[in-house]
Amino acid sequence: MASERQLSRISRRSLLGGTAAAVGAATLSATTAGTASAATSRDVDVAIVGAGLAGLTAARDLVAAGKSVVVLEARDRVGGRVVGLDLANGGITEGGGEFIGPTQNRIKALADSLGVQTFTTYNTGNNLLYKDGKKTPYATDGILGAVPPIDAAGLANAAIVQAKLDDLAKKIPVDAPWTAAKADEWDRQTFETWLRANAVIPSAKFLFDVACTSIFSAEPRELSFLFVLFYIAAAGDAANPGTLERLTETAGGAQELRFVGGSQLVPIKLAASLGDRVVLSAPVRTIAKSADGYVVTADGITVNARKVVVALAPPLAARITYDPLLPAARDQLTQRLPMASVGKAIAIYDTPFWRADGFNGQVVSDTGVISSTFDNSPPDASYGALMGFIEADEARKLDAASEAEVRAAVLKDYTTYFGAKAASPSSFVLQRWNNEAYTRGGPVSIAAPGVLTQYGPALRAPVGGIHWAGTETSTYWMGFMDGAVRSGERVAKEVLAVL
């Protein structure tokens, strides 16, 4: 059988319907996803829209229960917001979701079941704070942990604010945040308004502004305070209450581990196990009620199904035509949950040179296109990969820029942070989710004030035989790969209960 790296590359090619000439028979047989042109009509128990982790997980569980399914994917690949980017040196890096950490046990269990291993995110050496034009290295294992070394007053204020956020988050029912005792009060204000009243020291406000854009790829002014509290509450599981620290930390937090071979290897292998039940290049246009269930019409294929699972981000689910119309509450909800704004820029070097300089590749900055970076090098450090997030306002500013212009801006920041060696990478890759046709932003849909309390109950409520999945519908780890897997497992149980 092929190695994991070969499978990641070959299965991506075969799943995309490309030539099989270079694919060994054993590998090809494991990755025989269909294409829309290969079949014009199918009759199944469940039609699933979207071959991201949510849709594929739901398909796995339904098939295991003896149900027939078809997964319709608009893109020419599986994975949704999880994608591997091929590098000129033969490696693969992550263009979307890549990290997992403690309490994200559903994505870990799925990866384990597929034989996809994890390794620890590189975290040895100093972090770097770049603030007010000054570079300050700082250890992550000292008395302050990974908190950047701002002034004492700011640190004291930040500690109080973080404790208050964690305490308020404990009051949020993760399955229905709109029912919290103070939901109306918290949903009437933005996170920005709350921070201004609580993070009263400018340096403390800076820390939470950076945390906000790093977590949500959105500015504090864009987010309902109730939504932020729910997101913190969701960063855990039934036995471990969510905390802000778990969202932001590397060691012991959501960025602790990466996948050997890249994160897209998980959906690739999962899709391979489903074979031609997965149909690529088949964007769904309409879902219409029929006498026996639903008729799902996609480019090149029509599916007759008893039930339908829509495993898409809410604003993308809204682009499908439904007959009859969806209830107003559901449609209004999807109009009010836009995608955040994010891109990832990865510069490739012959070696991870910053390690020799005593840095772990992680930066927190108050300026530039890139305000947060990670060492994205492979586990054997056979080359260096420096990844930076382009987020929120900075991402929107560059939506219309050329790739060359983005590259120049990114490398300017990398050079500021890590010196002249960063100016000349051997290659450079860019994933701009705002400009991705079937995503249009990321990593998650966000809620402004008033959305959750007015429309939240429509988030997961089935509409007849149409059921909803996707990371936005998860009660734990919404916005993360783990949340997507959880939503797929939940919706499969939901559908099985009514079939």
Give the tens place of pLDDT for each residue, 226-277.
Answer: 999 999 999 999 999 999 999 999 999 999 999 999 999 999 999 999 999 9
Q: How confident is the model at residue 285 (pLDDT cuts 50, 70, 90)?
A: very high
Q: What percent of the chain has pLDDT over 90?
A: 90
pLDDT of residue 443: 97
HEC letters along 26-80 = HHHHCCCCEEHHHCCEEEEEEEEECCCHHHHHHHHHHHHCCCCEEEECCCCCCCC
Tokens of 150: 């701002």
Cis peptide leading into residue 338 (ω within 30°): no
- Tens-place pLDDT, residues 46-59: 999 999 999 999 99
Give the alpha-carbon dihedral of 306, 336, 236, 258, to 10 degrees.
Answer: 80
CA dist 472 → 56, 217, 419 (Å): 16, 15, 39
| pTM as predicted | 0.93
What average pLDDT does range 291-295 have in this prediction?
97
Tell me the one-letter amino acid at 260: V
Quick one: pLDDT at residue 16?
33
Mean pLDDT of 174-202: 98
Rounded Cα distance, 5 and 20, in Å: 17
Residue 40: its pLDDT value, please?
A: 87
Q: Which helix (H) or strand (E) holds 158?
A: helix 152-169
Q: What are the tens digits of pLDDT across the range 302-319? A: 999 999 999 999 999 999
Residue 29 has pLDDT above 90, yes or no: no
Structure tokens belonging to residue 301 = 């294929």
Instruction: Tell which residue, 84, 86, 15, has the closest CA to residue 277.
Output: 15
pLDDT of 337 over the 90 cut: yes
H or E, element range at 345: strand 342-349
Q: Which two tokens stand for residue 137?
A: 């290295």
Q: How many CB atoms lie within 10 A of CB 82?
A: 25
Q: Look up residue 368 and give its DSSP letter.
A: S
Confidence grade of residue 146 (pLDDT, cut at 50, 70, 90): confident
**CB–CB of 5/261 below 8 Å?**
yes
d(C-alpha 155, C-alpha 406), whole Å: 34
Radius of gyration of the chain from its Cα atoms, rounded to whole angstroms: 22
Comparing 183 with 143, the larger pLDDT belongs to: 183
The 3-state DSSP class for residue 362 equals: strand
Amino acid at 247: L
The CA distance from 455 to 453, in Å, is: 6
pLDDT score of 422 more than 90: yes
Residue 25 has pLDDT above 80, yes or no: no
Closest CA to 384 of 91, 119, 3: 91
Q: Which pLDDT value is given to residue 463?
A: 98
* 412 close to 347: Cβ distance less than 8 angstroms: no
Q: Give pLDDT, residue 343.
A: 98
Closest CA to 57 of 471, 486, 476, 494: 486
Q: What is the DSSP letter of 398?
A: T
Mean pLDDT, the chain, rounded, equals 92
Report whether pLDDT(15) > 90. no
Question: Does residue 21 carry a pLDDT above 50?
Answer: no
Element (DSSP H or E) covering residue 372: strand 372-375
Q: Is the pLDDT of residue 205 over 80?
A: yes
Summarize the chain as % helix, strand, coil (round to 5). 40, 20, 40
237: which strand partners? 240
Paired sense of beta strands 284-289 and 321-323, if any: parallel
Q: Which of 248, 225, 103, 222 is nearest to 172 (CA)?
A: 225
Q: Does the pLDDT at position 325 exceed 80?
A: yes
Q: What are the start-end ranges of the E strands in 246-341?
A: 257-259, 278-280, 284-289, 294-298, 301-310, 321-323
What is the pLDDT at residue 207?
95
pLDDT at 2: 40
Distances (CA, A) of 394 to 132, 219, 343, 366, 438: 18, 10, 10, 12, 21
Contact yes or no for 178/215 (Cβ under 8 A): no
Q: Taking a C-beta distance cutoff of 8 angstroms, is the pair 63, 334 a contact?
A: no
CB-based burial label for 496 (10 Å; 0-12, 13-18, 19+): middle
Q: Which two tokens stand for residue 482?
A: 């783990």
Query: Residue 427 is encoded by which pair of tokens?
Result: 């290659």
* pLDDT tens digit sequence for 342-359: 999 999 999 999 999 999
Strands across the sheet containing 134-138: 134-138, 126-131, 359-365, 372-375, 384-391, 342-349, 427-432
pLDDT of amino acid 34: 73
Is residue 85 classed as helix, strand or coil in its secondary structure? strand
The predicted structure's pLDDT at residue 96: 98
pLDDT for the residue numbered 141: 75
Q: How confident is the model at residue 392 (pLDDT cuts 50, 70, 90)?
A: very high
**Helix (H) or strand (E) run with residue 202 in it:** helix 202-216
The per-residue pLDDT for range 57-71, each reduced to its tens digit, is 999 999 999 999 999
Residue 39: its pLDDT value, please?
A: 55
Report whether 122 contacts 384 (CB < 8 A). Answer: no
